Amino acid sequence: MKILLVCSAGMSTSMLVDKMRKAAEAQGLEATIDATAEAGLANELETTNVILIGPQVRYLESKITSKAKPHGIKVAVIDSMAYGTMDGKKVLQQALSL
């Protein structure tokens, strides 16, 4: 499965991505996890299963949801506490539970 994290420039979330990858590896989960900026999202819609939105750009949720829904992609805003503590495991769980 492919999980995509969206934030403003894809910078702060890229730290979280590393932690999520490690968490996925520890669980033996086959997953592609990446970070992108909002503008880069359109090219990824075909292949993505879950989109997680950084809490600082949570105002994009409705816009992204409307774009992602036709592709059957699940969309959610990352839990802000898990985001702040860079808790890769918890965010991965959130993605899987959608």
The residues binding other proteins (CB under 8 A) are 7-9, 11-13, 15, 38-39, 42, 54-60, 63, 77, 79-81, 83-86
Between residues 29 and 76, which has the closer beta carbon with respect to other proteins?
76
Assess whether 7 carries a catalytic annotation.
Answer: yes
Active site residue: 4, 6, 7, 73, which one? 7
Q: Residue 96 contacts by C-beta under 8 Å, 6 or more apart in sequence?
A: none
Q: Taking the complex as a whole, how short is the minimal distance between the CB of residue 84 and other proteins, in angstroms?
A: 3
Report which of 11, 30, 83, 15 is spatially closest to residue 52, judged by C-alpha positions: 83
Beta bridge partners of 33: 3
Using CA atoms, how far residue 37 sits from 24, 25, 27, 29, 60, in Å, is: 22, 24, 27, 25, 11
Q: Taking the complex as a whole, how short is the minimal distance between the CB of residue 55 and other proteins, in angstroms?
A: 6
Q: Taking the complex as a whole, how short is the minimal distance between the CB of residue 67 and other proteins, in angstroms?
A: 10
> Which are the catalytic amino acids?
7
